[in-house]
Chains A and B, each alone.
Chain A
Amino acid sequence: MREPAGEPEAETREVPFRGGGFAPRPRRWAGPLVFVLLIGLLEWGTRTGFISSLTLPRPSAVFATLVQLWQSGALAEHLLPSLQRLALGSLMGISAGIAVGVAIGLFSLVRAGLVPLVAALFPVPKIALLPLFVIWFGIDEGSKNALIALGTFTPTVVATYGGVDNVDRTLIRMAQSFDLSWWSIVRKIVLPGALPAILSGLRVSLAIAIILLVAAEMLGANRGIGAYVLEAGSLYDLERLFAGVVILSLLGIASSWLVSRAEKLLLAWRPR
């Protein structure tokens, strides 16, 4: 009840519930619609000459280039070496990153020793080191794998030890009270607790791996999606350039989907 504030006439009215929040609701059609509108606009613009052929390629021509890539077998020829570099490089970088990240999270000495080193390595533009990598690891696959490995290593380390740090302390204290062994605590509480953060770090690492793929294929690669994009750029062949960019985007979507699958599988224990 309100105090009557001097006003004699107290009107009662119904107030609708307003606290609905800004919860996003599923709108499945919106994403594809944006793509369709944008591509339609580009197609119209390039066909009418509103957008010159110098500025952007015609989307249908890009699609035709993709179809031709697929039919001629060139797609596999470029995709397979790239996927191999991505897989090998990121496997090395991510597994080393998780190992170092967990060690930093668990041991104070390792943390004191390695966190400054990782912080120093992180902002170094790996692309600038490419010529050096060629001298160290050779012009063939070695330098390419090493570049992707180093590029994925640092973000994985940071995500991993961040995840370890954020594991619920009360759970660890409880386990200690129940006299669980150190190894048992790490295996049953720390690692599962850090897993969500590690997996979300993986999304960033894999995106970086794809970015670095193009850089890695700058030196001495005749085959590969990155080499294909770079070649198209230097020939100013916009259709092939955009076809390559579309393939890189699809790789990004595929890697993100893989991480989502891994999250569903590995984090099934989490309460919904």
Chain B
Amino acid sequence: MPALQEEKPTANAQDEGAPVVLRLDGVTKRFGPLVANDAISFDLKRGEVIALLGENGAGKTTLMNILFGHYVADEGSVEAFGRALPPGDPRAALDAGIGMVHQHFTLADNMSVLENIALGTQSFWKARFDRASARRRIAELSGAFGLAVDPEAMVASLSVGERQRVEILKALYRDAHVLILDEPTAVLTPAETDALFHTLKLLVGQGLAIIFISHKLNEVMAVSDRVLVLRSGRLAGERIIAQTTRHELASLMVGQEVTPPPVPPVITGPSLLVMEKVSTVRQANATPLDNITLSLHSGEITGLAGVSGNGQAALAGLLSGTEVPLSGNYSVQGEPVGRDWSPAVALAGGIARIPEDRHAVGTIGDMSVTENVIAERYHTERFSRAGFLDWAAARKFAEEIIADYDVKCPSPDARIRLLSGGNMQKLILGRALDPEPVIILANQPTRGLDVGAVGYVHGKLLEARSRGAAVLLISEDLEEILALSDRILVISKGRLSTPSARGERSVHELGQLMAGHGEEGRAA
């Protein structure tokens, strides 16, 4: 996002005289044995943008939920405009002028924009909801801050960017003087992000103070005046943006120097998985594969670049066993794939999967960490005896993965949904890599992860490669593909480009292929 730098709000943050609007003092919150926030203290001044930077699971969202009254802190206090904020009371936070834009929007889909914004702002004893005055005020606010949205539109019909504007309007409608934005750009397109930063600039100009929660360094550098770095629930450092660098912040965030994992030289072995002229059945909302040819070699990472929705799902399905080829030849370790191809057969054939959607496919949120890590192999000798689960073995396995993969979780019995994305992904990685699979399907393995977790996942994939595994890396992040892949293929409209070795095609050439302007279109 090159435009970001120009959008930097020019605030009077360094102005020492600006009044403190918010003060946190020694805030501590524990979830069982896990300390989510450990004695956090900071001040926020009028007209200032503070970034709260930290990896997933560092405690950023928990801290803001305490501030807003969703959680009650175990220790410490919050003071807004010089007055103590009663804990656990969102109404008090709202009345004190604190507005929050949650990461997961809190909007009712069955109501209009106007109704969502005005919800709870008029007395319940009023016999009639005053639409006209609400409409006037929304029009005023959206005009003043460039938050264009139709007040009569149903929320269900809005785009993600529009929903976020509604959330910001909700806070402004209630005269928020402190605005907390939790990972606001995670769901936005680059253009929407620029528009958001423009709005933030206007808000700061009006004297609002903003807390911007993020794990994206470039955005933090672009919008904030001051940055607080959280690591494992503690305040790891505080920097003035003008006096720091991305590199320094990244190190603070992860707790060590960040260096990209070294890529050892490739030792290509035999083909472990071969597809020849394979096509798949047309599915409801997925592009089918059209006559593709592909081979994955031992000791090699094959990167599949492409814009999402061009057949990646079908290819991932072929590898993981949820899809059967319609035509062509497909063999895994020399064995032709037949009609009985299924996830169980694929697993038994030595294919490990890191699914694209770790919440919907990769894990079962309400089951425990232990249950999730044995989910693919609960029926094997290792975890069951005479038809009964061997819980001791299962638990031991979970504890091993938690230790080996540095997973932050309260216990192996915790429901997996309570874990952050990065920790969930580490568990999935542990589950997939433990049996030393010969073929690994890594589908968007680092999507939504922070710097530390991304480096970790990449390191593990390279380790598997060194051990002789064949890795298929599917990613929309071209940087990731370029960093890891020994061979790069581009998928577009269900067709594959010819492979190119590391460094053979330029980024521009790959981009052209991704856009469907292929020189050859289909592989030979």
Task: Report if A and B associate in a common complex.
Answer: no
